[in-house]
Structure 1
Amino acid sequence: MKSAHSQKGISILGWLMMLTVVAFFASAAFKVLPHYFDNMALEKMITSVETDKALDVRTVGDFYSHISKGMQVNSIRDLNMQDAIKVKVENNEFRVHLKYEKREPLIQNIDLVVRFDKEFRVRMP
């Protein structure tokens, strides 16, 4: 059994390894989190059509216009709305399919990929 005097704690090399691992995960999180925030903003824009009666969204064109304005307000510029959002009208409700993926370079040829795929049923006002 080692004495208490010889057990001094983590070494410099241990601290550097721990700091490297924490920095790696922090870097990955800071690259991916903005895409999750953009997705949450898009989901909120889609669901606001049903809850906010002042919007008066009645057609698919109105829906796309509403989403486009919301994307400008939220500074979502790196996403093609026509490719990511598909809207259909069925049974007096909008069927919205939000599907896209984003890639962020991590290290040389290694990318972080986030994929979003969600369907919404939004009743017309």
Structure 2
Amino acid sequence: MVQQQLMQRQMMKSQRGMTIWSWMFVLGTLGVTALIVMKLAPIYLENMSVKKAVNQVAASSGASSMNKGTVWKNLVKQFYIDEVHSIVEDDVSVEVADDGTKELVVAYEIRKPIMFNVDAVVWFEERVPLKE
């Protein structure tokens, strides 16, 4: 009985919890994760606005008869409303799909500096068939 109590005391001494170094590691990991989320969240929010604008333009009446210039003008109006700044005219194209229908394609990448010389590169491509 006495030996068992002695063993329990020794175990309690060895199990005191996290040290300052382990806490610093946990907080550092949380800090880096928070930094990455704060840098990348606006990019994904902007992509949601791009999807909305592409779907609206593609669903408009007579969209399949539009050329690239007309599609770009309509997209710019939506981008202005939603404050999308990452897309240029070269990122937008109107392509013919395998089944012969026209598709509106918006393909772009965003490079966001994270810290020092570390960047995150995020690439998006939205393909939506144009409405007849």
Q: Which TM-score applies when normalising by structure 1? A: 0.78
Structure 2 unaligned regions, length at least 5: 1-6
Deviation by residue 1:59-98 (Cα, 9 ceiling, x = unmatched): 2344222210111111112332x12211247789541111
Which residue number corresponds to residue 39 of structure 1? 47
Which residue number corresponds to residue 3 of structure 2? none
SS in 2 for 1:123: coil
Q: Give the drift of 1:122.
A: 2.5
Query: d(CA) in 2 for partners of 1:22 and 1:34?
Result: 19
- Counterpart residue identity of residue 63, structure 1: V
Q: From the two aligned structures, give the one with the greater strand fraction.
A: 1
Deviation by residue 1:6-34 (Cα, 9 ceiling, x = unmatched): 31211121111111111111111211121
Aligned CA RMSD, in angstroms, stands at: 2.6
Query: d(CA) in 1 for partners of 2:102 and 2:40?
Result: 29
Structure 1 unaligned regions, length at least 5: none
Give runs of ≥4 in structure 1 deviating > 6 Å: 89-92
Give the fraction of aligned pairs with identical amino acids, expressed as a percent.
24
SS in 2 for 1:30: helix
Matched, 1:87 2:110: no
Correspondence 1:1-125 to 2 at 5 A: 2-51=10-59, 57=63, 59-60=66-67, 61-80=69-88, 82-88=89-95, 94-124=102-132
Query: d(CA) in 2 for partners of 1:78 and 1:43?
Result: 13
Which one is further off, 59-68 or 9-18? 59-68
Q: 1:94 to 1:37 in 2, by over 3 A?
A: farther
Q: Which TM-score applies when normalising by structure 2? A: 0.74
Q: From the two aligned structures, give the one with the greater helix fraction.
A: 2
- Compare CA radii of gyration and give the structure with the larger one: 2
